């Protein structure tokens, strides 16, 4: 086995985590840590959503994982190898689309991919054209392959960047806002592609500001805030840990809001005939609230606690709105 083949074989995902950090910290001079003692575990074969508000440390973490910047302290292992020490062995097995693709505008989409593939020392030049064509087809760009990249829309550029990351089989795919600029159909196609890649054994690590998107596509997720990891685990478990919202549908929303407030409800939001509030604590009987509404003459058409979403969990954990620019 050649040295290159041995290195590649050593980076294939095994039974252990594909990404694992322990105490990973990045401190810039004169400021608080951008990433502070991060213990992150990304299971093999998962689609892992990396979430956090602006300035939470997500991008800094990704840069450390890929060996683009050094950590101040702590350790990071990717595909079972220490980073950045094993960058030369690990990075050929990692596809990445970070902060938008860097394209040659004067080249066609196809020629961009040929250029990227030519820069990969592990890529067999004899199969390059077939590899490029396959990547274009997977992201839906085969018909536009002959157009210059400068004429591509934002969504098309995003697809081309993803195609570049898929030129070779990857043990790990790292995606930053993969559906940025895509229309709803394009977003569905990328979701389907990500699921297919995971089914084939590729672990996908992605950040996105679309929490509904994360909930649809990801099996696991982690939430960052101010450089610290707040929680990680299966998406279904994260949502289940959050309290749902009490929702009342009625043609008397004003009266319903007054009754709920009088009975201690908080976080009220009225939207047309729908009144929602934070779910009451466990010692409050929902039947008693419903009875109070009826006694007050409120015409209740629907009443109950809705299942908590990933967004509910995120807001409960961070106490703020969602923005992944950090």
Condensed to tens digits (0 to 9), the pLDDT of residues 59-114 reads 899 999 999 999 999 999 999 999 999 998 999 899 988 766 788 899 999 999 99
Q: pLDDT per residue over 15-46, tens digit each?
A: 689 999 999 999 988 778 999 999 999 999 99
Sign of CA dihedral 317, 318, 320, 324: negative
What whole-number distance in Å separates Cα of residue 4 and Cα of residue 172? 18
What whole-number distance in Å separates Cα of residue 49 and Cα of residue 218? 6
Answer yes or no: is 188 within a domain.
yes
Residues 234 and 269 in one domain: no
CATH code of the domain containing 262: 3.30.70.100
Answer yes or no: is 315 within a domain.
no
Residues 158 and 257 in one domain: no
Answer yes or no: is 313 within a domain.
no
Q: Looking at the chain, which runs of residues are DSSP E strands?
A: 19-27, 33-38, 41-42, 47-51, 73-78, 81-83, 94-97, 172-176, 203-207, 220-225, 228-234, 245-249, 269-271, 274-278, 302-305
Residues 209 and 128 in one domain: yes
Parent domain of 298: 245-307
What whole-number distance in Å separates Cα of residue 165 and Cα of residue 175? 9
Token readout for 236 is: 């279904």
User: Residue 201: which of 9, 14, 4 has the closest Cα?
Assistant: 14
Residues 162 and 263 in one domain: no
What whole-number distance in Å separates Cα of residue 219 and Cα of residue 211? 13
Residues 199 and 255 in one domain: no
Residues 165 and 263 in one domain: no
Q: pLDDT per residue over 136-194, tens digit each?
A: 998 889 999 999 999 998 888 888 988 998 898 889 999 887 877 778 887 888 888 88
**What is the domain count for the chain?**
2
């Amino acid at each position: 086995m050649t040295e290159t083949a041995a290195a590649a074989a050593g980076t294939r995902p095994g039974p252990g985590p594909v990404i694992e950090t322990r105490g990973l910290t990045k401190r810039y001079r004169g400021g608080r840590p951008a990433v502070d003692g991060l213990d992150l575990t990304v299971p093999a074969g998962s689609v892992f959503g990396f979430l956090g508000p602006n300035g939470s440390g997500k991008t800094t973490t990704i840069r450390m994982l890929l060996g683009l910047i050094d950590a101040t302290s702590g350790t990071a292992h990717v595909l079972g190898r220490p980073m950045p020490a094993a960058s030369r062995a690990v990075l050929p097995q990692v596809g990445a689309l970070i902060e938008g693709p860097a394209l040659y505008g004067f080249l066609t989409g196809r020629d961009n991919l040929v250029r990227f593939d030519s820069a990969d020392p592990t890529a067999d030049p004899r199969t390059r054209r077939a590899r490029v064509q396959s990547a274009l087809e997977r992201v839906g760009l085969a018909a536009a392959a002959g157009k210059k990249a400068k004429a591509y829309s934002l969504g098309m550029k995003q697809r081309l960047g993803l195609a570049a990351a898929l030129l070779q089989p990857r043990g790990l795919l790292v995606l930053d806002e993969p559906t940025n600029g895509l229309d709803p159909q394009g977003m569905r196609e990328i979701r389907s592609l990500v699921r297919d890649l995971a089914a084939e054994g590729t672990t996908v690590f992605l950040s996105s500001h679309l929490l509904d998107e994360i909930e649809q596509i990801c099996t696991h997720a982690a939430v960052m805030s101010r450089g610290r990891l707040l929680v990680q685990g299966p998406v279904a478990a994260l949502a289940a840990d959050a309290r749902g919202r009490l929702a009342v549908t009625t043609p008397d929303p004003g009266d319903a809001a007054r009754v709920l407030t009088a009975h201690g409800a908080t976080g009220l939001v009225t939207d047309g005939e729908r009144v929602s509030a934070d779910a009451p604590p466990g010692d409050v009987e929902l039947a008693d609230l419903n009875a109070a509404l009826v006694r007050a003459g409120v015409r209740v058409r629907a009443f109950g606690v809705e299942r908590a979403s990933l967004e509910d969990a995120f807001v409960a954990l961070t106490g703020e709105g969602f923005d992944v620019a950090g």
